[in-house]
């Protein structure tokens, strides 16, 4: 006789997980929680919101933890310090339990109201539902133009695949999340990692909203860093360019040399060389430094990769059950 076997775990896994990384977003969190809650409740599916506090120091995490008590669908992972959005996203994906995981910015630029459409596409068989921006209000013309150019450059360099005009706003099936989690490199350019995975993908258009409150954490300098990271993480083309430009410069130099010798032999003109010499030397010197810089960028990446440090460190995970005992410090 076999006894009735009790279920291994009676833990309820939600169908939908929404991962929200945030860093100093105290001003937008209440609106974010309210809107997210409304939209998710209307889907009729079980859901959780995985908030990842990326080392905020404006008390947003404490506000959320206080809120968790009556909203059991909210979970909060607090990182030990600010690791950057890419690491925070990774932490969110590692902790999300849902059958489908949706990534959303806390500042409400990615409207939660798109979620039902994303879920429909997922149920229709897509593993990844990509949200592509139809419009980007509140962003300067310069930012729009540079984003446009950059995505196209990246696409060409990395052999396509990284889709244009998309951010991190997307839905991923469990299968896609597990695949992304297997990519444990330290240089995390999430858009590239997501694209690398592949799987059946649907693209939906949406209108990117303006930031609800607060200001963007991405100055031009930081964006430039991310842009370079994207290129060097997914392509070794710059190394080839460096070699190519070097070869070109060498050919030009040799040609110039031949020309000088010929001039001296045939016309008998001893070239008064100083200015041209200086020009060539500074040009070649600059070229060499640039090339070394490019090589160095890749060597640095190898160095960081070999250290095998964790991508993020968790300070604590606050779950609804524990929240009633949790006291803000």
- Partner touching 25 among Mg ion, ligand UDP, none, CB below 5 to 8 Å by kind: ligand UDP
- Tokens 């950059």, located at residue: 150
- Binding range to Mg ion, per CB under 5 A, among 109-117, 145-153, 227-235, 295-303: 109-117
Residue 38 CB, nearest approach to ligand UDP (Å): 19
- Partner touching 218 among ligand UDP, Mg ion, none, CB below 5 to 8 Å by kind: ligand UDP
In this structure, is the dihedral angle defined by the CA atoms of residues 168, 170, 174 and 175, taken in order, positive or negative? negative
Binder among 19, 22, 68, 169 for ligand UDP (CB under 6 A): 22
Nearer to ligand UDP, 174 or 217 (CB): 217
Position 105 contacts ligand UDP (CB under 6 A): yes
Position 92 contacts ligand UDP (CB under 6 A): no
Residue 33 CB, nearest approach to ligand UDP (Å): 13
Binder among 56, 62, 109, 158 for Mg ion (CB under 5 A): 109
Size of the site for ligand UDP (CB under 6 A): 16
Two structure tokens written together for 186: 């330290």
- Partner touching 165 among ligand UDP, Mg ion, none, CB below 5 to 8 Å by kind: none
Binding residues vs ligand UDP (CB under 6 A): 21-23, 25, 54, 82, 84-85, 88, 105-107, 109, 216-218
């Amino acid at each position: 006789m076999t006894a009735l076997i009790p279920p291994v775990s009676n833990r309820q896994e939600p169908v939908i997980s929404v991962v929200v990384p945030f860093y100093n977003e105290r001003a937008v969190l209440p609106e974010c929680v309210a809107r997210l809650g409304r939209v998710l409740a209307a889907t009729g599916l079980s859901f959780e919101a995985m908030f990842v506090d990326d080392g905020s120091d404006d008390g947003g995490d404490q506000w959320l933890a206080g809120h968790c008590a009556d909203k059991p669908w909210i979970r909060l992972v607090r990182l030990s310090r600010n690791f950057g959005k890419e690491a925070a996203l990774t932490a969110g994906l590692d902790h999300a339990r849902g059958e489908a995981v949706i990534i959303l910015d806390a500042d409400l630029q990615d409207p939660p109201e798109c979620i039902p459409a994303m879920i429909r596409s997922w149920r229709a068989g897509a593993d990844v539902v990509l949200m592509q921006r139809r419009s980007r209000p509140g962003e300067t013309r310069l930012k729009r133009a540079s984003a446009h150019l950059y995505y196209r450059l990246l696409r060409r360099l990395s052999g396509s695949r990284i889709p244009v005009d998309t951010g991190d706003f997307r839905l991923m099936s469990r299968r896609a999340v597990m695949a992304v989690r297997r990519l444990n490199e330290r240089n995390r350019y999430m858009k590239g990692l997501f694209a690398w995975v592949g799987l059946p993908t649907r693209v939906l258009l949406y209108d990117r909203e303006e930031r609800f409150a607060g200001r963007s954490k991405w100055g031009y300098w930081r964006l430039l860093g991310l842009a370079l990271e994207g290129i060097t993480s997914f392509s070794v083309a710059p190394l080839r360019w460096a070699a190519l430009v070097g070869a070109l410069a060498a050919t030009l130099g040799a040609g110039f040399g031949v020309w000088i010798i010929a001039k001296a032999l045939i016309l008998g003109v001893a070239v008064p060389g100083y200015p041209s010499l200086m020009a060539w030397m500074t040009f070649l010197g600059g070229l060499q430094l640039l090339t070394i810089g490019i090589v160095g960028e890749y060597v640095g990446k190898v160095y960081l990769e070999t250290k095998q440090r964790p991508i993020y460190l968790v300070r604590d995970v606050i779950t609804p059950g524990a929240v009633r005992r949790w006291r803000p410090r």
